[in-house]
Structure 1
Amino acid sequence: MAGQLCWIPSFASKGKLTLYLRLEPYHPWKPHTAFPSLCVRDYPIPGGSKGWATSQRLLQSGWTIVPTAQVQASFRDNFGDTSQAA
């Protein structure tokens, strides 16, 4: 099984990039922790990216990385610009 991965700013990590995964291009993006069977323990680096070790493993297994800007543009196209308060 080879899916897609992307680094997306996460509300839970105060806007820091967090690894998100999806098994198929038509599936929604989910945090890597939603897939415990795919996760690898993060490196013990203070301030390190959440999911870095997992991303390395998945890329070696044939997963595809999707640029963050592409995912964010897709969100804007599908849901509008939600960054502005009404």
Structure 2
Amino acid sequence: MHRQMCWLSKFGGDGEKILHLQTAPNQPWRPYTAFPQYAVADYKIEGGSLGWATYQKLLKAGWTVVHSARANEFSSNSAEVKS
């Protein structure tokens, strides 16, 4: 099963990063909150990363971590193919 995760900006660019998941190679990266079956409650830490608790859970479950530059490259290539 294809299970990948990476840290991407909420709104693109260089903003605050949150955990994003991808469950199929042809699917876009989506915030972890779009996957209630995988997401767990965030830690109550001021300034903490959104998705950190989910990241830890999925890492232990064998999900693959993808560098954000590689994930962004994939997203750009997908958009070009659809155009």
Q: TM-score with structure 1 length normalisation?
A: 0.79
Structure 1 Cα separation of the partners of residues 58 and 24 of structure 2: 14
Unaligned runs of 5+ in 1: 81-86
Question: Aligned residue for 2:75?
Answer: 75
Residue in 2 aligned with 1:60?
A: 60
More helix by share: 2
Gapped regions of structure 2 (runs ≥ 5):
none
Give the RMSD, CA atoms, in angstroms.
Answer: 2.1
* Percent identity between the two aligned chains: 44
Matched to 2:17, the amino acid is L
Task: Give the number of equivalent residue pairs.
Answer: 79
Moved more, 35-44 or 1-10: 1-10
- For normalisation by structure 2, the TM-score amounts to 0.82
Determine which structure has more spread, i.e. the larger CA radius of gyration: 1
